[in-house]
Structure 1
Amino acid sequence: MDLFRSKSSSAASELKEPLTQRIERGELELPVLPATAAAIMAACEDLDCNARDLAVMLERDPSLAGNVLRVANSVAYAPVEPVVSLHHAVTHLGFNALCSIAVSVSLQGKVFRVDGHEALLERLWQHSALAGAWAREIARYHRRDVESAFLCGLMHDVGKPVILLALSEIASSSGVALADELALEWMDEFHGVVGARLVTEWGLPDWMAGAVRFHHETEAAGDDADGARMTRFADLLAHWTLASSMGEADAPRSDPVVAALGLRSEDVDELLARREEVEQMSEALS
């Protein structure tokens, strides 16, 4: 048993030390935001941009265009009639929602993909999509920008697949097996820091990086505390949604973040009543 523990400890050290060094030195490889998504985000900030301009950009990326049309026609966005053109999709969704969808598609296709870990990342994406949808509802209740809150919820765990990819590369190059329990432990430990760096790298606002960084430590978030609290509650509600679908959980009413957000019991009830809409939004992103 002691020999087994020694070997396990050695293997863990061979993996964790290089990972920690990459994170501390800022050498962890971060996925690049695809060009079309980056162009759309920049265009949405341009006061001279119009729906036709954005439709032309989408035409250059058939995969993104297809996803935008699919989401625009989903139950979550409830079109009165089928959305059949990109111009119609842009006007139906609105610029801010289009940016959110572009980031979502980029995350699912480029970040939440690590060979050999498909099942884990599929579950993680499902959780992230639910968190994004819940954050949207929380922000709507607090009269905050719903699309920014959505991105915070969607990206709150984005550091996890980045860390998993780095660990897979380190394990492969060193010839050490990567145990699932160790990968999950280190993903939990470092995902806030790594996720915040990716948010910044993708050109999103500093307060969003703060919300992602401190969603497990909301008391340390400083000026970003409101965003961190909304993101934290969205995270809890996403966990509850998945667990309660199997009859395994009660709603997170007593967590300190509920009081910190100024939510009363009846407020939480009103939010929970939006579960069907939240699940529809999550499914639209999957």
Structure 2
Amino acid sequence: MLDTYGLSQLPHKVKDLPVLPQAVLEVLQVLRNDNLSAEHCIQLIEKDPALAARTLRLANSAFYGAPGRVARIADAVSMLGLRTVSGVLAAAALTQAFPASACAGFDFAAYWRHGLAVAMSARSLASHCGLDPEQAFLAGLMHDIGQLVLAAHFPAAGNAVQALMTSTDVPRVRAEQTLLGQDHCQVGALLAVHWRFPAPIVEAIAQHHAPPPAAASAPAALDLTGLVHACDAVAHALDLAGLAEEAVPEIDLSVWTRLRLDEARAMRLFASVEGGVRDMCAALSL
């Protein structure tokens, strides 16, 4: 395939992106090692005014039930937990690495509303699936990060994909593969490796539209990739992004079966996610 849109430069573009702030990297370590010092992470957050402000805004949001009562980073981390903070700080870093001004024609707000909806759905359902809720939150939040890379650094490619989606009504992944020879899942995985995300999160980003078959050793279990795949469909069904072309992607029926989401649990999930996305967007100024 001809490199019409310059995507051969993708690996170089990703390598040229700044690494995540040290505070974010330290907190992300919690997803690999629960024995890290919360005190050290708190000190790093306190040294970064932007990250500190976002952490406090989240802790004081209505979603967490403590509006106006949390004034110290230590109290915020104690209430939210380092794993939740890791997701928030990663989101904050992403808004700095990919500001709306760098993504002309890309609906930045819609992107974040959808990402937060997937993140909150994944966190809500993770324990039900025997998975870590905060790792699930971060994987859900980052699952479409490749779309931001394409919008910011390959706008012609992004515009062509959008045009093909509009004119032929094909899903985004298929349009990307047709025009670019790769999709935002692969692009996002490159960035996740560059930013040193844990391996299960890299895999979830890379495969969230095509989860691998269940392991023979645990056929009923749902892994992180399958959870994000299912929650992506849930978030699209809720239509929180507010996009005119919103469509629920194809979902692997074996994944949906393993999710075991009955009607009562689904209704509770939908209500929680809708309220949570509203409060999180306010807390993160998205």
**1:95 lines up with 2:79 in the alignment:** no
Paired with 1:81 and 1:260, the residues of 2 have a C-alpha distance of: 42
- Is 1:192 the equivalent of 2:170? no
Find out whether 1:49 has 2:42 as its counterpart: no
Q: CA deviation at 1:122?
A: 1.7
1:126 is the counterpart of 2:126 = no
Q: 1:268 to 1:258 in 2, by over 3 A?
A: farther
1:238 aligns to 2:235 (yes or no): yes
Contact 1:37 1:103 in 2 (8 A): yes
Q: How far, CA to CA, are the matches of 2:37 and 2:138 in structure 1?
A: 22
Q: Write the distance in 2 (CA, Å) between the matches of 1:206 and 1:270.
A: 29
Distance 2:135 2:25 in 1: 16
The one of 63, 77, 84 equivalent to 2:71 is: 84
CA contact (8 A) 2:240 2:274 kept: no
Which of 259, 268, 271 aligns to 2:266? It is: 271
Q: CA deviation at 1:81?
A: 7.1
Q: Quick one: distance in 2 between partners of 1:66 and 1:42?
A: 21
For residues 195-235 of structure 1, the C-alpha deviation after alignment (integer angstroms, 9 at most, x for no partner) is: 11222222222121111111111136979972121001111
- Contact 2:27–2:83 under 8 Å retained in 1: no
Deviation at 1:123, TM superposition (A): 1.1
Number of corresponding residues: 262
Counterpart of 2:12, as a letter, is E
Task: Please provide the CA RMSD for this pair.
Answer: 3.7
**Secondary structure, in 3 states, of the residue corresponding to 1:261?**
helix
Deviations 1:130-166 (A, max 9, x none): 1111111121322321001111111110011101222
Contact 2:59 2:76 in 1 (8 A): yes
2:14 is paired with a residue whose SS is coil
1:161-176 equivalent positions in 2, closer than 5 A: 161-168=148-155
On the 8 A contact 1:114/1:164 being kept in 2, the answer is no
Deviates more, 1:201-210 or 1:148-157: 201-210
Deviates more, 1:225-234 or 1:33-42: 33-42
Larger radius of gyration: 1
Partner of 1:227: 224
Q: Which amino acid aligns with 1:278?
A: V
**Displaced runs of 4 or more, over 6 A:** 220-225, 243-246, 248-254
CA separation in 1, counterparts of 2:146 and 2:234? 20
Question: Structure 2: 5+ residue runs without aligned partners?
Answer: 166-171, 282-286
Distance 2:190 2:249 in 1: 29
1:276 is displaced (CA, Å) by: 2.4
**How high is the sequence identity, in percent, across the aligned residues?**
25
Q: Distance in 2 between matches of 1:146 and 1:212?
A: 16
Residue of structure 1 in register with 2:49 after alignment: 62
Distance 2:46 2:123 in 1: 28
Distance 2:107 2:4 in 1: 19
CA distance in 1, matches of 2:115, 2:158: 27
Whole-Å Cα distance in 2 between the matches of residues 153 and 285 of structure 1? 14
* Residue 280 (structure 1) aligned with residue 270 (structure 2): no
Which position in structure 1 is the counterpart of 2:284?
Answer: none
- What is the CA–CA distance in structure 1 between the aligned matches of 2:67 and 2:101, rounded to whole Å? 38
